[in-house]
Structure 1
Amino acid sequence: MSRRRGLDLQVPSALRPLGPYVPALAILVLQLVVFPMGIGTWALGVVVGLLTALVALGLALIYRANRILNFAQGDLGTIPTTLSVGLIAVSGLPYLLGVVLGLAAAIVLGAVIELAIVRRFHRAPRLLLTVATIGLSQLLIVCGLLMPRLWHKKIFTDQTLPDPFQAHLSIGSQIFGGSEITAMIVAPLLLVGLALFLRGTDVGIAVRASAERTDRAALLGIPVRRLQTLVWSVAAVLSFAGVFLHVSIFGFSAASALSPQALVFAMAALIIGRMDHLPAITLSAVALEILDQGVVAKYPAQEGRSYLVLAAVLLVVLLTRRVSIRRSDIDTASSWTSADEVRPIPIELARLRLVRWSRVLLPVAAVAIAAVLPLVLAPSQELKASTVLVFALITLSVVVLTGWGGQISLGQMSFVAVGAVVGAISSATWHIDLSLALILAGLAGAVVAVVVGLPALRLSGLYLAVTTLTFSLACSNYLLNRKEQSWIPRGDVTPRLLFRHFDLGTEAAMYEFVLVVVVLAFLAVAGIRHSRTGRVLLAVRDNERGAAAYSVSVVRAKLLGFALSGFLAAVAGCLLVHVNGAYDEKPFVVAGSLGVFTAAVVGGIGSLAGAVIGSLFLNGGQWFLPAPWQLLPSALGVLVVLLVLPGGLGNLVYRLRDAGLRSLARRRGIVVASLLADEGGDDLPEAIRVAMPERPAGLDGSAVDEPVGVDS
């Protein structure tokens, strides 16, 4: 069952098979008209596009098998590539032997990851598994950075792979050697081989069947889990082929398929190719890389402009695409937006004086402790404490958008960057009060977030995630990069007297000001959560159609969620630029956005306390460990937390709260079904057994259920 939204245009039946390829063909037309280039550069774009297509097809296979976006896809190929480079370029093994050993390592790596990690999340929401791949990516990055030490080297920078054979081919101004020719031969063969495998073998047909409906395939006797292990191994092989061939052409230092910049092109091809149409994904990857070569050829001094073009192309494609709504898509989207809700305190206990006072005094005590920290902290530690508070506010914006609104944003730091730029201009150029700068920054962030969130009106889940990620890449590399934009302040950013009276020139004063702003933001968000606006956001997240049936404007609710989240993120950006004393685009890179999103999920995507816990989690490893090891605690921490506590660390806090409430209820002799039922089983507490009325026995001595009236 499927339904389509959009204009019901009559398309000739002969042209319908070309529908999935139209966006890629339009991208090629855009390149030819707006960014023309020579045939040699065009051929180079085709070669790079084929290598990107290998990574994109690995993404597609894993999406079809697990319904996730695998952020470790590039790293699946980088680890065996590093091994092959070490064996060939350092140890001196023959080229072919090094490639075979790397290929074997890729197969084993993909299988081990699926068996040891991915399979543990078999029944978990797809959101958690996707975040787990982010942690997995960080873990593989650490392994890749440490692997050169096997050859007593810190990093592979000057190692180059020899050409597999000596040959030269001239196309226009480009001269292709043995490595380029190998890529031109091997990549198409792998693509054709994958197509034949999926369509012409029993195993391939079983993989396709299990990808369509996993439960139904399992009922038919298909070994779904073994096939998923095979899919991960195949995806690792495709990634290894793409990364290794990229290394052989451009060198190891340029082989950044593990980086978000290169991975975004593969993800964009995946989105344009409708997630599961492998030929369309291949053509889209080639078209995007050709377009990238054209933009770089026309603007050689502005390489970041290609990311802006990519973001614009992706936004236009998603806004003009005719949407097909299938039951499987709805199930996938609902799994992506699932978030554990914080259970309110039962009304039977909320009326107790002890509980009422605790709900007030505990937060007040926490704020009071935070307020006196400057008395015991050094100035450098005060700067770190201010940064933690700012990132708590950024994480709170993710909680609002994803946890409450159900919209996946992987580019949250781009909204923070907007606020930072507006804050820097307000203080360094306009010389206005910081309080007014915060408001202006928040409004600018809200407007930008609404524009970026426009695809959410028609598409959600992975589509929106890749769109926001691409926009973040465009912001950090071009739109809000000081190398590209001369209007961004380059000097120190120092606030004027706050309200013409309070001096914020010291770290302690700035910390206290940031604390006040963050506390006010948390209070405002808590009030919104308990208002009609908060209930509307949750209703749209859980069931758009049901909310619309009750006259709720789904469009308005989605845009409101983006606006509120963008406002909070931009206010945090304005605070951050004043805490650091200058504007710097380094915190706003794509890796920063992924880190904030991961921190929100690990802290607890549905709770306010999770925002603070996630902020501490995000910054801890970055401050106290050397550079090569900084990602290790967060990588292992993400995987461990998501395996043990799917609801995040914030969920653990609320479990402890419920345990305390359960103990209080026992002491007071109060029966609270919602708390006592958590203990379950046959060992129900005596209080609830006494409170349960006896049921009359049937003829066979078993209990008989009776209708329960209103009075009961």
Structure 2
Amino acid sequence: MASTLHVLCKVGGAEGGMAAAELIDAPMLRRAAVAAGPAAAIIAVQLALFPAPAGVFLVGAVLGLLGALVAVGMALVYRANRILNFAQSDLGFAPAVLAANLILYSGLNYLLGAAIGLAAAVVLGAVVELAIIRRFFRASRLILTVATIGLSQMLWVIAMLLPRLWDQRPNTLKIEIPLTWSFEVSPLLFSADHLVALVVAPVVLVVVALFLRYTAVGMAIRASAERADRASLLGVPVRRLQTLVWAISALLSFTGLFLRAGVVGLPALGVASFGALLFALAALMLGRLDHLPAVALSAVALGILEQGVVWNHPRNPEYVYPIVAAIVMVALAARRTGSTRAEQDGSSSWQAADEIRPIPHELRLLPQVRAVSWGGLAVLSLVLVTVPVWLEWLPGDRGSADLRKAAAVAIFGLVALSVIVLTGWAGQVSLGQMAIAGYGGAVGALAVSSWGVDLGIAMLASALAGGGIAVLVGLPALRLRGLFLAVVTFAFALASSFWLLSPKHVRWIPDRRFERPALFGFIDTSADRTLYLVALATFGLALLAARGIRRSRTGRVLLAQRENERAVQAYGVNLTRTKLTAFALSGGIAAVAGCLLTVLQQQYSPALYEPGTNFAVFTSAVVGGLGSLAGAFLGALFLQGGTWFLPVQWQLLPSAIGVLFVLMVFPGGLAGLVYRLRDLWLRAVARRRGIVVPSLLADVRQDRVPVEHAERAVEQTAERADAPGAAAGPVLVRDPAGVVSTGEPAGSGS
């Protein structure tokens, strides 16, 4: 205080010229650099590489302000729940589509339609938090992040179906404010919609900032964001505050997208939703996740950069996606690891993959169990192999079309298997597996159509290319946890879909049809039946290889580092090599699937690798079950089943609802449900045979364990504990009251 008064007293004196400099202290400069530094760097890139006139610069600032509303809403959710909300733009997109339809097709007044949309957004945000997010309050933050992916798909489907209520199928939804104001900034003419956006967006941002900083509710929100458990102990209603945060977040997203509908319109196909999500994630990364001024300024700068790219490349506006993806990767690479509590908190660890237990050794050799196990596998194999025979009975060309769909199930099973290896085993969340499959498909198309090589060689070349690309994408994983790696892979998928995998921009990818090549020189794959069997055999071999890897030291190390990296490192394990091995294996499997998919289509098709497909593949793998290799098959069947029998607008709905339902009820996925039923049957077999299986008894309440089984379990575990060389482990003991429970390992007493 004394130093400040000293400076103020000298403002009018001889040292007045130095007063301003002394008033700006070092902490203030650091805060200004944190807030404006990333935005200044982006503007510098735009001015140097994509210069544009003042009017284009102003349009970019307008769109950037609208994008800042979405990004700030995402930052608020991150501060409250410590997750990346992939449904952020969709929280506002669905109400914005509703308001636009009311205004355009029902003739509703502009302000009344906007008010209804605003109310719908607030209600939607609150309902989503109460009905879905709150159920994951104690779950892993990564689990909740995956839930927002399913939520995003569900909201996207709802937004796509809303115009059907008015029997409309528009390509673009554009609503203009009923005002005639206009002004010109060379070379563009600005309407009242631009002016309203320039006024409303900054006002909303300032109001939110003042609310968080100076109101009691805002301070409580900031306090609960720092440590929810401690805030709860102090009497802060954390859960109600989180509901309020989600309502505010949806309001911000709606405001940004509704005003954007008046400036440039909203594509009814929802592509803008993915673009808005990418820009919001980029601003979030540049703003260090929770620094709201930096997030808002970065979003404005990204909007200016986008318009600069569009001005310089009007025929190829997709160039902006690889540029933004590069910005995201640079921002994440420059981050200090462990700089946020989310990275340090144990709740952020990946806990989605419930490991499936093998059949207990006490029951494995029973004739009844062996007959059911091997018999069931034989029946399933026979059914899969004879699918072409059954489909030949279908009339017309339906059998051939369904046979190609059956081959697609096996191929997508490979992609789901790659997700299990990378996410279920290594704990690295990837939202770009179909993009890697796309590179495999492009290499396969080049090898087959241009080089004329054998299908086996083409699959090998695709696997090598996919593994190498996956390793490059996975390099940030050496410093970042799975939560932030999801942002990198999503940016990579978007850049690949719109530019890097587009024959329009990349000349080496052939876009012509070709004949299916032979396999190993003598297996003709031109028939759909043969290609189905080839895809099925490839899937089966990949399953056997993955099963062998899972049981090897490599598989055990992958699972161990997923749970505790520091403990694994203490044993001398090279984490860099371990993680990159997981990426290489996963990328190779996905690329082989892409090669087979291209051969099935007899042409490289970029539409197969759109951004939404990456989300669908990931969520289908979660629904199938990340803890079991069988989940790859079940997830692929779930994904393709939705694709076969539902219209395009509904195809994402099964996986969206499925992932939310599974994460809430069956964390182990459909495969986990199947294995639970298996364990029920095994428990019944053990009960009838009078065999005690401790691993099965551990799943049953103690008062439900038969007395004779409990007594025999006590005797068996005591004998194992007394056996020479027996490892210390949990044993079943009986207390004086006769209750059987798990006791301490033998010899562990003090």
TM-score, normalised relative to structure 2: 0.89
Counterpart of 2:407 (choices 386, 395, 414) is 386
- Cα distance in 1 for residues equivalent to 2:637 and 2:661: 16
SS in 2 for 1:300: coil
Rate the CA distance shift 1:20–1:493 in 2: closer, same or farther, 3 A.
Answer: farther
CA contact (8 A) 1:334 1:542 kept: no
Counterpart of 1:540 (choices 561, 582, 586) is 561
SS in 1 for 2:184: strand
The letter for the 2-side match of 1:299 is H
User: What's the CA shift string for 1:642-680, capped at 9, x where partnerless?
Assistant: 322122111001111211221222222221111112111
- Cα distance in 2 for residues equivalent to 1:95 and 1:549: 63
CA contact (8 A) 2:437 2:590 kept: yes
Rate the CA distance shift 1:107–1:31 in 2: closer, same or farther, 3 A.
Answer: same
How far off is 1:20 after superposition?
5.3
User: What's the CA shift string for 1:363-403, capped at 9, x where partnerless?
Assistant: 34322321111111111111000000000000000000000
- Cα distance in 2 for residues equivalent to 1:706 and 1:438: 53
After TM superposition, list the pairs within 5 Å mapping 1:148-547 onto structure 2.
Answer: 148-150=163-165, 152-157=166-171, 160-253=174-267, 256=270, 259-331=273-345, 334-336=348-350, 338-356=352-370, 358-377=372-391, 378-547=399-568
Query: Is residue 603 of structure 2 the alignment partner of residue 582 of structure 1?
Result: yes
Identify the range of structure 1 (153-162 vs 395-404) with the bigger mean alpha-carbon deviation: 153-162
- Cα distance in 2 for residues equivalent to 1:107 and 1:318: 32
SS in 2 for 1:176: strand
Identify the range of structure 1 (615-624 vs 634-643) with the bigger mean alpha-carbon deviation: 634-643
- What 5-or-longer segments of structure 2 have no aligned partner? 1-24, 392-398, 716-732
- Cα distance in 2 for residues equivalent to 1:88 and 1:512: 54
How far off is 1:685 after superposition?
2.3
How far off is 1:282 after superposition?
0.9
- Cα distance in 2 for residues equivalent to 1:475 and 1:395: 19
SS in 1 for 2:189: strand
Counterpart of 1:662 (choices 654, 678, 683) is 683
Residue number in structure 2 paired with 1:5: none
How far off is 1:704 after superposition?
13
Rate the CA distance shift 1:166–1:257 in 2: closer, same or farther, 3 A.
Answer: farther
CA contact (8 A) 2:153 2:652 kept: yes
How far off is 1:265 after superposition?
1.0
How far off is 1:322 after superposition?
2.7
Rate the CA distance shift 1:497–1:571 in 2: closer, same or farther, 3 A.
Answer: same
After TM superposition, list the pairs within 5 Å mapping 1:564-575 onto structure 2.
Answer: 564-575=585-596
The letter for the 2-side match of 1:36 is P
Identify the range of structure 1 (385-394 vs 458-467) with the bigger mean alpha-carbon deviation: 458-467
Residue number in structure 2 paired with 1:6: none
How far off is 1:219 after superposition?
1.0
SS in 2 for 1:304: helix
Q: How many residues align?
A: 699
Counterpart of 1:132 (choices 140, 147, 150) is 147
Residue number in structure 1 paired with 2:701: 680
CA contact (8 A) 1:337 1:461 kept: no
Rate the CA distance shift 1:653–1:34 in 2: closer, same or farther, 3 A.
Answer: same
CA contact (8 A) 2:173 2:268 kept: no
Residue number in structure 1 paired with 2:62: 47
The letter for the 2-side match of 1:155 is R
How far off is 1:252 after superposition?
3.9
- Cα distance in 1 for residues equivalent to 2:329 and 2:170: 37
The letter for the 1-side match of 2:310 is V
Rate the CA distance shift 1:75–1:409 in 2: closer, same or farther, 3 A.
Answer: same
Rate the CA distance shift 1:89–1:332 in 2: closer, same or farther, 3 A.
Answer: farther
Rate the CA distance shift 1:255–1:167 in 2: closer, same or farther, 3 A.
Answer: farther
After TM superposition, list the pairs within 5 Å mapping 1:631-710 onto structure 2.
Answer: 631-691=652-712, 692=714, 697=736, 709=746
- Cα distance in 2 for residues equivalent to 1:313 and 1:702: 62
- Cα distance in 1 for residues equivalent to 2:557 and 2:106: 62
How far off is 1:600 after superposition?
0.8
CA contact (8 A) 1:337 1:407 kept: no
Structure of larger gyration radius: 2
- Cα distance in 1 for residues equivalent to 2:334 and 2:748: 56
- Cα distance in 2 for residues equivalent to 1:623 and 1:686: 52
Residue number in structure 1 paired with 2:110: 95
- Cα distance in 2 for residues equivalent to 1:695 and 1:575: 58
- Cα distance in 2 for residues equivalent to 1:80 and 1:166: 26
CA contact (8 A) 1:510 1:579 kept: yes
CA contact (8 A) 1:156 1:252 kept: no
- Cα distance in 2 for residues equivalent to 1:349 and 1:179: 72
SS in 1 for 2:700: coil
CA contact (8 A) 2:352 2:667 kept: no
User: What's the CA shift string for 1:86-134, capped at 9, x where partnerless?
Assistant: 3333333332222222211211111122122222222233333333322
Rate the CA distance shift 1:333–1:105 in 2: closer, same or farther, 3 A.
Answer: same
Superposed CA RMSD = 2.5
Rate the CA distance shift 1:703–1:215 in 2: closer, same or farther, 3 A.
Answer: same
User: What's the CA shift string for 1:147-172, capped at 9, x where partnerless?
Assistant: 2344x332345764233432222223
Residue number in structure 2 paired with 1:36: 51
User: What's the CA shift string for 1:335-369, capped at 9, x where partnerless?
Assistant: 44542111232232234455456554533432232
CA contact (8 A) 2:352 2:668 kept: no
How far off is 1:67 after superposition?
2.3
After TM superposition, list the pairs within 5 Å mapping 1:79-94 onto structure 2.
Answer: 79-94=94-109
User: What's the CA shift string for 1:241-294, capped at 9, x where partnerless?
Assistant: 001000011124379576212211111211221111111111111122222222
User: What's the CA shift string for 1:182-203, capped at 9, x where partnerless?
Assistant: 0011001111111111111110
Residue number in structure 2 paired with 1:7: none
- Cα distance in 1 for residues equivalent to 2:365 and 2:291: 57
- Cα distance in 2 for residues equivalent to 1:117 and 1:707: 39
The letter for the 1-side match of 2:145 is T
How far off is 1:303 after superposition?
1.8
How far off is 1:300 after superposition?
1.9
TM-score, normalised relative to structure 1: 0.93
The letter for the 2-side match of 1:635 is A
How far off is 1:333 after superposition?
6.7
How far off is 1:208 after superposition?
1.1
- Cα distance in 1 for residues equivalent to 2:748 and 2:85: 53
- Cα distance in 1 for residues equivalent to 2:438 and 2:499: 12
The letter for the 2-side match of 1:35 is F
- Cα distance in 2 for residues equivalent to 1:549 and 1:561: 20
The letter for the 1-side match of 2:543 is F
- Cα distance in 2 for residues equivalent to 1:224 and 1:165: 43
SS in 2 for 1:344: coil
- What 5-or-longer segments of structure 1 have no aligned partner? 1-10
- Cα distance in 2 for residues equivalent to 1:160 and 1:414: 31
Query: Is residue 647 of structure 2 the alignment partner of residue 626 of structure 1?
Result: yes
Provide the identity percentage.
51
CA contact (8 A) 1:264 1:470 kept: yes
The letter for the 1-side match of 2:459 is L
Counterpart of 1:553 (choices 574, 578, 591) is 574
